[in-house]
Amino acid sequence: MKIRLFQSSDLPELRRITVEGFEGIAIDQNVENKLGVLGDHDWRWRKMRHVDEDCEMNPKGVFVAERDGVILGYISTRVDHESGKGRIPNLAVDVSARGCGLGRQLIEYALDYMQQEGMAFAMIETMENNPIGQHLYPSSGFVEVGRQIHYARKL
Ligand SMILES: CC(C)(COP(=O)(O)OP(=O)(O)OC[C@H]1O[C@@H](n2cnc3c(N)ncnc32)[C@H](O)[C@@H]1OP(=O)(O)O)[C@@H](O)C(=O)NCCC(=O)NCCS
């Protein structure tokens, strides 16, 4: 298994892994569960769009885990050189490859990258109904700093 820099041909597979992985834990799915399908797109389309944005905004900070040419997962990052804040907006590992330490390795890889970019600290967030995130992030050195309540309404 190797972790390498994202390339644009990875995008369809990153989208697939994301939509499969975030079933049940995506905020846009919560919105849809409460308010119904909104506009012309469902939560899966909106979630895929997050991945596209990550790859557009900071392609040099998206890292892909691959074995024998098969993509197993990825992590995305943002770096703000003025504030010194690094962020991990998205992380997903294919269902077939979970529980082998890949998620943790991707986090460590992203943290190294953000440190090299001169970031002073890093942030990551997880949903209340995502027990894996709530285990994995504290055990990767993150401390909880706050909880947020999300509201949505139809227009
Ligand atoms: C989160 C995710 C990337 C982790 O990938 P992974 O390769 O399985 O991660 P790892 O194997 O490195 O570590 C998983 C850890 O979670 C633990 N874990 C697994 N299921 C768990 C559960 N139901 N409750 C609590 N901890 C759990 C594992 O024991 C392991 O911890 P350990 O190393 O202390 O034993 C993967 O589960 C995923 O893609 N989930 C869907 C998308 C997602 O949640 N992304 C993050 C959004 S905040």
* 9 Cα: distance to centroid of ligand 1 (angstroms): 26
Ligand 1 contacts (CB < 6 A) are 21-22, 25, 91-93, 98-104, 126, 130-133, 135-136, 139
0.85 exceeded by the pTM?
A: yes
Show the DSSP H helices in 39-101 as ranges: 43-57
Phi, psi of 17 (to 5 degrees): -60, -35
The pLDDT tens digits of the residues spanning 11-46 come to 999 999 999 999 999 999 999 999 999 999 999 999
Please state at what angle helix 27-35 crosses helix 43-57, rounded to 10 degrees: 150
According to DSSP, the residues that pair with 65 across neighbouring strands are: 3, 73
| Domains delineated in the chain | 2-140 (3.40.630.30)
Calpha distance 146→99 (Å, rounded): 27
Average pLDDT, the chain: 97
Q: Which residue has the tokens 């330490």?
A: 101
Atom of ligand 1 nearest to the CA of 17: 39
Share of the chain above pLDDT 70, in %: 100
Query: Looking at residue 12, what is its pLDDT?
Result: 98
- Which residue stretches of the chain have pLDDT < 70? none
With a pLDDT cut of 90, the percent of the chain lying above it is: 100
Token digits of residue 107: 């986090």
